[in-house]
C-alpha cells in the first residue's frame, strides 16, 4: 500500500485518498490518467496529484522518468480534447458547453479567452504554467485554428515544465508533499490578480489606440 510510504494527513480518505488509490492500482499510468482527468474534471488538481507522485518517487514506489512521461502524456491528451472541441464547435458553442459543467467558473473561461487573445500562440506555452488558465487555454487555441503541430509542441513543453516543478517539489518534501497545495492556493490568488491587471491594461491600450485612430 502506498499509504504506508506517504502517511497521508487524512489517512487515505477524500481527494488524496482517491489519488493514492488510483496510483496504487495503476502506478505511473495512474498518474497520467489523473492528469488527463484534471483537464476535464476540475476537482482533480495537478497540485495534489503531482506532488504525491513526487513523494512516491522519493520512496522508490514509482519511477521518475516513467512518471514524467505519463504525466506529460496525460496533460497533452487532455489539452487535445479541449483543443479539438474548440476547433470543431467554435468558441461560443464550446464556451456554453464548458459553463454547463459543474465547478467550471465563468471567470476561468473568460480569463483563458483573454489570455489567448492577448498573447496568441505564446499563451499556450506560458498558460500551461498558470493555474486557472492552463487547461482552458486549449479551447480558444482550437477555436482560433492554431496549427496542430505548434499546439502539440508548445503544450508538451509547457506541461513538462509544470509537471517537473510539482513532481520535483513532492520529491524534495517527501511525506510533507501536501503542503504544496496550501502554498499554491495563495500563489493562485496572486496570479489571478496579476492576470486581471494585465488584461485591464491590454483593454485600455486597445481602447486608447482606437480613439487615436478615429477621425
The domain segmentation of the chain, as residue ranges, is 3-213
Ranked by mean pLDDT, the top range of 51-55, 69-73, 204-208 is: 69-73
Question: Is pTM, for the whole model, over 0.95?
Answer: no
Q: What pLDDT sits at residue 31? A: 94
Hey, which of 14-18, 48-52, 162-166 has the most confident mean pLDDT?
162-166
User: Residue 14: which pLDDT band, with cuts at 50, 70 and 90?
Assistant: low
Contacts of residue 196, Cβ cutoff 8 Å, sequence gap at least 6: 111
For helices 46-58 and 28-40, the axis angle rounded to 10 degrees is: 170
Range with top average pLDDT, 61-65, 85-89, 139-143, 170-174? 61-65
Residue the block writes with cell 487532455: 78
Mean pLDDT over each residue of the chain, to the nearest integer:
75
Please give the span between the terminal C-alpha atoms of the chain, in angstroms, as a whole number: 72
Sign of CA dihedral 101, 132, 115, 191: positive
| pLDDT tens readout for residues 132-177 | 677 778 888 888 888 999 999 999 999 999 999 889 888 887 666 5
Instruction: Say which residue the cell 480534447 belongs to.
Output: 81
Residue with cell 483543443: 83
Which positions ≥6 away from 185 have C-beta within 8 Å? none
Distance CA 73, CA 81 (A): 12
* H helices, E strands: number in the chain: 11, 0
21: CB partners within 8 A, 6+ apart: 12
In the 8-state DSSP scheme, what is residue 129?
T
Amino acid at each position: 500500500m502506498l499509504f504506508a510510504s506517504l502517511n497521508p494527513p487524512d489517512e487515505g480518505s477524500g481527494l488524496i485518498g482517491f489519488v493514492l488509490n488510483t496510483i496504487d492500482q495503476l502506478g505511473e499510468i495512474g498518474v497520467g490518467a489523473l492528469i488527463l482527468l484534471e483537464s476535464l474534471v476540475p476537482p482533480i488538481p495537478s497540485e495534489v496529484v503531482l506532488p504525491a507522485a513526487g513523494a512516491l518517487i522519493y520512496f522508490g514506489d514509482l519511477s521518475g522518468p516513467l512518471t514524467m512521461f505519463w504525466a506529460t502524456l496525460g496533460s497533452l491528451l487532455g489539452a487535445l480534447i479541449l483543443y479539438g472541441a474548440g476547433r470543431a464547435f467554435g468558441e461560443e458553442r464550446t464556451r456554453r458547453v464548458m459553463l454547463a459543467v459543474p465547478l467550471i467558473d465563468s471567470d476561468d473561461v473568460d480569463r483563458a479567452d483573454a489570455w489567448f487573445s492577448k498573447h496568441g500562440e505564446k499563451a499556450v506555452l506560458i498558460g500551461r504554467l498558470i493555474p486557472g488558465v492552463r487547461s482552458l487555454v486549449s479551447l480558444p487555441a482550437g477555436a482560433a485554428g492554431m496549427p496542430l503541430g505548434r499546439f502539440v509542441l508548445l503544450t508538451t513543453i509547457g506541461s513538462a515544465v509544470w509537471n517537473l516543478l510539482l513532481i520535483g517539489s513532492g520529491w524534495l518534501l517527501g511525506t510533507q508533499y501536501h503542503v504544496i497545495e496550501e502554498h499554491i492556493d495563495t500563489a493562485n490568488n496572486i496570479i489571478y490578480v496579476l492576470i486581471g491587471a494585465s488584461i485591464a491594461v491590454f483593454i485600455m491600450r486597445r481602447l486608447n489606440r482606437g480613439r487615436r485612430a478615429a477621425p
